[in-house]
Every structure is written in C-alpha cells, then in structure tokens.
Amino acid sequence: MTDSFRNNVINKLQNGDFDCTKEFTVSMFSGKHKLMILWILIQEGPQSFSYFMNNLKGISKKVLSNQLNELMDDHLIDKSEYMVGRVKHTQYSMSEIGNTLVPIINSLNAWGEMRLNSVDIEKKFNR
C-alpha cells in the first residue's frame, strides 16, 4: 500500500525475519500484547492510549507505545488524535486490513479453547 509498509516489509525480508509467508503473518502478532490490543479493538471498538494502559495488565508506556506503532507500521490499526484544551487524546481502531485478520484470530481462539478444555484446565482469563 503505502511506501512505509513497503519499506517495513522489505527490511524484514532483508533481515531474514521470516522465511515463509506463514512467518510473516505470525510476525504481525509478535509482541507480548499485540493480540490483546487487536482483540480489545475488535470486541470493544476504538480506544484511547490510556484505556490500553488500564486494561493490559503490567504493560509499560514504552512498550505500549512501541507495539501500537508497530501495528500501525503493519497497517493493522489506525489512529486519530484530537485536543481537549491543551491535552492530547487519541483514538486507536482496527484498520480495513486489520479486520481481515479477524477470522484467523477467531480460529486461534477456538483452537486454544478446544485444547484447554480437552485437558480440563481451569481457566480464568479476562477475555
């Protein structure tokens, strides 16, 4: 799409970050909180920076900022900003491309549930 994405992918290719298209897809999720960020946006719609800070357990500002930026570099999420007085507010949301990932995320979810149920592990997940 844009040049930024193009360069991003070309760098990853050159760095040998992935050797096949599957690994490219998985690289979209590689980051401790990325799946949860996407899931929150899918389930709950657009959210602010601070919403993620409050709802992702144990994440720091730096890491959240990094992962949001990477998701934007990969064009999976969009961002808008607006000012309230002198204070900046943000709104992150799923992009059109990001939404094409929803079926995959759902199947990841289903497989994990099936597998955990099969061994009768007591689950106590937030989401």
Partner DNA sequence: CTGCATCCATTTTGATACTG
Partner DNA sequence: CAGTATCAAAATGGATGCAG
Q: Which stretch binds a copy of itself (CB under 8 A): 45-53, 65-73, 80-88, 115-123?
A: 115-123
Q: Is 5 in the site for a copy of itself (CB under 8 A)?
A: yes
CA pair distance 121, 116, nearest whole angstrom: 6
The radius of gyration of the chain's CA atoms, rounded to the nearest angstrom, is 16
Using CB under 8 A, which of 14, 19, 81, 84 touches a copy of itself? 19
* C-beta pairs of 94-102 under 8 Å, 24+ apart in sequence: 94/38, 94/41, 94/42, 97/1, 98/38, 98/41, 98/71, 99/42, 101/28, 101/38, 101/76, 102/42
Q: Binders of a copy of itself among 45-104, rule CB under 8 A? A: 57-58, 97, 100-101, 103-104
**Which of 46, 108 has the CB closer to a copy of itself?**
108
Residues in contact with 87: Cβ distance below 8 Å, sequence separation at least 6, in sequence order? none
Q: Pattern of binders to DNA over 63-102, x per CB under 7 A?
A: x-xxxxx---------x-x-----xxxx------------
Query: What is the 8-class DSSP label of residue 124?
Result: -
Q: Applying CB under 8 A, which residues contact a copy of itself?
A: 1, 5-6, 9-10, 13, 16, 19-26, 29-30, 35-36, 39, 57-58, 97, 100-101, 103-105, 107-109, 111-116, 118-119, 121, 123, 125-127
